[in-house]
Structure formats: structure tokens, C-alpha cells
Structure 1
Amino acid sequence: MRLLHTMLRVADLDRSIEFYTEVLGMTLLRRKEFPEGRFTLAFVGYQPESAGTVIELTHNWDKGAYDLGDAFGHIAIQVADVYEACELIRQKGGVVTREAGPMKGTDSILAFVKDPDGYSIELLA
């Protein structure tokens, strides 16, 4: 068994694909429209789906926005340098919501950014 993907509902699929590919450096692995169901799926990731876990972006054509709720926490991404990653994300128009720095009580360096729909993404070295 292995974890395949995490699905996020997004309001603007093109904007989300741009964020995950251009700002976070993932690759668009596949995209497919389902006219009968009035939705489109796009899968993005750092590896092919056969090699690692990816993110499924789901755009329901008739839905404009979503409430994030308070049950979902965040997606975590490992980076080589959290400080540098924050600077690159900021340069590309991304929003850093918690600057890079140590997590209280540990030596771990982390930061948080938000995607265009407001989902939290943790960056860890």
C-alpha cells in the first residue's frame, strides 16, 4: 500500500496550476475534463504518480469558492533551505504567512505559505 494523492478543491484551476508549477516548482502531470460531471482534474507533483504522492486539484465548474473549514491542517513540502524557498516564493508572487525560523522547542526550521485558495503549505528543511 502507498499514499497516492491529496485532493484539494480549487476555485480557479489555471491559477492553482500556475501556483503549484511556477511558484512551488511542481510539474503538471495530467489534466482531464469531465463534461458529464462538470469538473476538471489536474494532478501536480515533484515526481511521476508512479513514484510518489501527488496533489489532485479539482475544479467543479459550477462552484465559485469554497470554505476551508477548520479540520484540514496543511500540506508539508521538504525543501533544501527554508529561508531561500520563502524568498523565491515571495519573488514569484507567493504569500508567506509564517516566516522561516525555528519551531518552538526544536532545531527544526519551518515556514508556511498559502496557495491561491488559502490552503496552508508547510516548508521544512
Structure 2
Amino acid sequence: MRLLHTMIRVGNLERSLQFYCEVLGMRLLRKKDYPTGRFTLAFVGYGDESETAVIELTHNWDTDHYDLGNGYGHIALGVEDIYGTCEAIKARGGKVVREPGPMKHGSTVIAFVEDPDGYKIELIQTQSLAAELEKVAAVGSTA
């Protein structure tokens, strides 16, 4: 088994596609209208669905708002330069709701952005491949 996608309901599909594609840099992978059901499905992501998990944006034509409830957490994205990424998101009109910095009770650097429907997206600072290789080399030289 593998994770295929996460579905979220959106009130305005074009606004959501603009956010996920233009602000977060995902690609629209496929989109299909279902007129008899009065809904549209749009799949967005950073890679092909055959290789990576994606997000399914579901737009029910007769609903323009959803209550998020208290069970939803967030979507997490790994980024190599969290500070630069947050600045780029702001420059593209995105809303950073928690500036980058260490998480409470830990050292992982995180930030949160919010999509047009209020869904939270966590950005997590990842180390670059070069930094990972340096760590491996340092551990190897002390063995």
C-alpha cells in the first residue's frame, strides 16, 4: 500500500487552485467536472500521482463555505529554506500565520500558512542533501 492523496473540500475552486499552484508552487495534475453530481475534483501536487501523494480539492458546486471542525490538523510540506519560502509565499499573496522558528519543546524549525478556506499547511525545514552528507561523513570519521 501507499498513500495516494488527501481530500479537502473547498468553497471556491479557482481561488484554491491559484493558492496551491501559484502560491505554493504545485501543479494542477488533473481536473474533472461531474455535472450530474454537481461537483468538480482537481488534483494538485509536486510530482506525478504515480510517484507521490497529492491533494484532491473537491468543490461541491452548491457549497461555498465549510466549517473546518476541530478534528482536522494540517498538511505538512518539507522545504529546504523555510525563511525564503515564507517570504516567497507572502510575495505571492499567501498568508503566513506562524512565522518560521523552532517548534515549542523542540528544535525543528516550522512555520504555518493558511489556504483561502482556512486549512493550515505546516512548512518544516528540511536539511539539504549536502548537509545530510556532511553529517554522515562526520559520523564516519569519528568511528
**1:89-115 Cα deviation digits (max 9, x unpaired):** 000000000000011232210000000
Q: Counterparts of 1:11-30 in structure 2 under 5 Å?
A: 11-30=11-30
Q: C-alpha distance in 1, partners of 2:121/2:14?
A: 19
Could you tell me how far apart the structure 1 residues matched to 2:67 and 2:105 are? 32
**Aligned equivalents of 2:91 and 2:67: distance in 1?**
28
Compute the displacement of 1:8 (Å). 0.5
Structure 1 stretches of 5 or more lacking a match? none
Output aligned runs, 1:1-125, within 5 Å.
1-125=1-125
Matched letter for residue 16 of structure 1: S
Q: TM-score, normalised by structure 1?
A: 0.98
Distance 2:79 2:101 in 1: 14
Return the index of the structure with the highest Cα Rg.
2
Unpaired segments ≥5 residues, structure 2: 126-143
What is the SS of the residue equivalent to 2:86? helix
Q: Write 1 or 2 for the structure with the bigger share of helix.
A: 2
Could you tell me how far apart the structure 1 residues matched to 2:8 and 2:105 are?
Answer: 31
Shift of 1:64: 1.5
Partner SS state of residue 85, structure 1: helix
Q: Secondary structure in 1 aligned to 2:8? A: strand
Query: What percent identity do the matched residue pairs reach?
Result: 63
Structure 2 residue identity aligned to 1:54: V
